Amino acid sequence: MTIHKEGYPSILITTIFVVLINFLTNRFAPDIVWLQYLVWAFSLFLMVVILQFFRHPDKHIEINENNIIAPADGKVVVIEETTEDEYLKDRRIQVSIFMSPLNVHVNRYPISGILRFVKFHPGKFLVAWHPKSSTENERTTIVLENAKGQQFLIRQIAGALARRIVWYGKENQTVKQGSELGFIKFGSRVDIFLPLGTKVTANINDVVTGGKTVIATL
């Protein structure tokens, strides 16, 4: 278990804040014992929360080109047939995974292939389960093409708390199944649009693990 690199700035800011409030408490209220304990408890709670959020567990990824693995840790909240209007322009099976602040927030590629399209969209910060969040929220759209020429669209979506989406891939880059796609800070959602005919093995309310859980098979 390590700390993800995206967490370093947040951890530094939190540490400075904790040191500052403890210094000020000791400086201006040294005789108020209950306040000292309260500040210590709050400081410990804050550091534990921020460290657990940016945790980065080691994972052994089993490569299988016939499997679609979960791109994120979280709960499956949507499985439905829909039209993807941004890039693919056709009917797809959408699978959406909601990440709470308690989940690991590393996003991973569900298959191996070549990145055909990568685009960031600024937008709103509606709650991640809002019906319009996938089209109106800040988001990143990534299209991945496997060795068979099948295309899969992955969308990182910001939420009410998630104010920063990070992605690492560039167009025409070759990526490996399970490798890091990016990171979303403080909870949100990842959608994946699968070709019709893909056998979805996940169910609504399933708790899945990014890079591990098989959510569909080709």
188 is catalytic: yes
Closest CA to 108 of 180, 32, 28: 180
Paired tokens of 16: 């400075």
190 Cβ contact list (under 8 Å, min separation 6): 71, 72, 74, 96, 97, 99, 107, 154, 155, 156, 157, 184
Asked whether the beta carbons of 76 and 205 are under 8 A apart, the reply is yes
Catalytic residue among 43, 133, 134, 188: 188
3-state helix, strand, coil in the chain (%, to 5): 20, 40, 40
Element (H, E) at 37: helix 33-53
Q: Which residue has the tokens 């927030």?
A: 105
105 Cβ contact list (under 8 Å, min separation 6): 4, 53, 54, 72, 73, 99, 183, 184, 185, 186, 187
Rounded distance, CA 47 to CA 10, Å? 10
Which of helix, strand or coil describes residue 132?
A: coil
Catalytically active residues, by annotation: 188
